[in-house]
Structure 1
Amino acid sequence: MSFDLPHGCGNAEGDVIEPGRAYGFFTDTTLCIGCKACEVACKEWNQLPAEEEGLSGMSYDNTRDLSATTWRHVAFVEQMDEAPGHAGPRWLMMSDVCKHCDPAPCLEACPTGAIFRTEFDSVVVQQDICNGCGYCVPACPFGVVDVDEVDGKAHKCTLCYDRLKGGREPACAKVCPTDSIQFGPLDDLIGRAQERTRALHERGESDAYLYGTPDSPGATGGIKKLNAFFLLRDRPEVYGLPAAPSLPSRRIAPAFGAGLAAFAGLALAATALLGGGRR
């Protein structure tokens, strides 16, 4: 079963959304102008409240970060460009969102089955099953998932699951005026992203690279790929992204092994002391 997809900024006329295919976002940060149209569209469609604090005093960033009520966040990073002929400030802008990881750390940590992978390969929290335990919050290496103080449930981007089921692209991609946020089947998006990166390199912008595609930064440490991946122009940490995000099981196993080794060492030492005392 498939649905006609209305024409949007990041999609070609006549595209369809088919359950059973993997969909996601390709965010080209070199095209982001910081207009925040994606933030507004996300809040309007999902009926999320505005930030109570208002302007943060941190550049033009009023939402500060992703949260239970902010599922799209436009980050502003101001730098001094010291390249010859380009001296002056340089702005790096990125519309951040849930990465819908494959495999997903939050899904791995959820004890109730509230978090599941949909027929579009996105990751969604079922509010009627979530018990608010919060295990998914530290499990997410991107700081995406958050527990709402009002209802006590975990919340994050759903890739507009309700819109996808109706054959409509996510609200944020629909309104993006520069095609910085592009939505579509992952295999198509990855090919498009690779072409864009090559074009930038040919133009002399050798610092451009992909984050979150298979075998690239952001898709190591146990996570094979991000269903929302990015084209960046500086180190991941500059954008607040980890270079090698990992799964909870990958983080726990080494610590557990180290604990067992330490316990075994103490046990051997105690045995030796007791044996020496008997002699």
Structure 2
Amino acid sequence: MSEERVGFFTDTSVCIGCKACEVACKEWNAIPEDGLSLTGMSYDNTQALGASTWRHVAFIEQPTPEGRTQLPLAEGDSGADSGMRWLMSSDVCKHCTHAACLDVCPTGSLFRTEFGTVVVQEDICNGCGYCVPACPYGVIEQRPADGRAFKCTMCYDRLGVGQEPACAKACPTESIQFGPLDELRERAALRVDQLHETGVTEAHLYGDDPEDGVGGDGAFFLLLDKPEVYGLPPDPVVTTRDLPTMWKHAGAAALSLLGGVALSFALAGKGRR
């Protein structure tokens, strides 16, 4: 990488579910409309990340146990417990440090940019779909119309001219923050401490640890509940982690097979003499 690695820090405690990030992402990247029908489970009309949804704002309605803090806190809130709370979170491709989609792509369509992000080159993608099951987060998807894979590029074209991604630019509450990854991690840790001091003890970071199963995410989150509540895997691991060992065992097996074949031919030759 010739540039400092950049990323997203999404603070779900201040997300208001406005979906400005979704709209900005679609407008800037010319992403096709992907359905406007409600699921019947929430007010969400995009349901999940996919080939035509690179930012997805989840709406999670939850009963609140007695004494649990409700966020976001409205101005002038009397503090009365309504018995319900909304968790809202803008999800996106994680731009993993160890990206399995890169490992399995046979054409080089997927590549890591000078900013440390992971991008799909749609004109090189052959629609093989290997990247889809490789992603531990279920982010990348093929478009039904032509089979090519698409996902968030972190607005690679904007980064190249010194601009921030469209979603972060459009976020009115600064729930989505963009910048150098190391700075974002420091800022996020301070934000967690601040929330803990105000009694929001369940606040924690997800995807910020460079020692986790994907080497840390380029897009990480402050969550107010378990990752599973937000549809995130609790302990993601790069799906190609065991590939070197598998190839080693496969090579040993192939050599053993070749040795057995050679030995059988040798014994057959001796038997004819």
Considering the TM-score relative to the shorter chain, is it more than 0.5?
yes
Equivalent runs, 1:15-94 vs 2, <5 Å: 20-84=3-67, 86=81, 88-94=83-89
Q: Summarize the Cα distance change of 1:80–1:252 in structure 2 as closer, same or farther, 3 Å threshold.
A: farther
Q: Summarize the Cα distance change of 1:87–1:137 in structure 2 as closer, same or farther, 3 Å threshold.
A: same
Q: Deviations over 1:24-74 (max 9, x none)?
A: 100000000000000000000011122235333231100001111110000
Q: Which has the larger radius of gyration?
A: 2
The TM-score, its normalising length taken from structure 2, stands at 0.82
1:243 aligns with 2:230: no
1:227 aligns with 2:222: no
Q: For residues 244 and 251 of structure 1, what CA distance do their matches in structure 2 show?
A: 16
Q: Deviations over 1:144-202 (max 9, x none)?
A: 10011123211000000011111110000001000100000001101110110000011
Q: Give the counterpart letter for 1:159 in structure 2.
A: M
Q: Summarize the Cα distance change of 1:249–1:200 in structure 2 as closer, same or farther, 3 Å threshold.
A: same
1:86 CA displacement: 3.2
Q: 2:165 aligned to 151, 159, 170, which one?
A: 170
Q: For residues 253 and 184 of structure 1, what CA distance do their matches in structure 2 show?
A: 34
Equivalent runs, 1:134-153 vs 2, <5 Å: 134-153=129-148
Aligned residues: 239
Q: For residues 240 and 254 of structure 1, what CA distance do their matches in structure 2 show?
A: 30
Task: Look up the SS of the partner of 1:174 in the other structure.
Answer: helix
Q: Which runs of 5+ in 1 are unaligned?
A: 1-17, 260-279
Q: Give the counterpart letter for 2:87 in structure 1.
A: L
Q: Give the counterpart letter for 1:250 in structure 2.
A: R
Residue of structure 1 in register with 2:103 after alignment: 108
The percent identity for this pair of structures is 60
Aligned Cα root-mean-square deviation (Å): 2.3
Task: Look up the SS of the partner of 1:183 in the other structure.
Answer: strand
1:250 CA displacement: 2.8
1:253 CA displacement: 7.5
Q: Give the counterpart letter for 1:118 in structure 2.
A: T
Q: Summarize the Cα distance change of 1:86–1:168 in structure 2 as closer, same or farther, 3 Å threshold.
A: same
1:245 CA displacement: 1.0
Q: For residues 238 and 167 of structure 2, what CA distance do their matches in structure 1 show?
A: 27
Task: Look up the SS of the partner of 1:78 in the other structure.
Answer: strand
1:109 CA displacement: 1.6
Q: Give the counterpart letter for 1:167 in structure 2.
A: G
- Worse-superposed segment, 127-136 or 247-256: 247-256
Q: For residues 23 and 226 of structure 1, what CA distance do their matches in structure 2 show?
A: 11
1:193 aligns with 2:191: no
Residue of structure 1 in register with 2:260 after alignment: none
Q: For residues 115 and 165 of structure 1, what CA distance do their matches in structure 2 show?
A: 18
Q: Give the counterpart letter for 1:22 in structure 2.
A: R
The TM-score, its normalising length taken from structure 1, stands at 0.80
Q: Summarize the Cα distance change of 1:206–1:142 in structure 2 as closer, same or farther, 3 Å threshold.
A: same
Q: Give the counterpart letter for 1:225 in structure 2.
A: G
1:211 aligns with 2:206: yes
Q: Which runs of 5+ in 2 are unaligned?
A: 68-79, 251-273
Residue of structure 2 in register with 1:15 after alignment: none
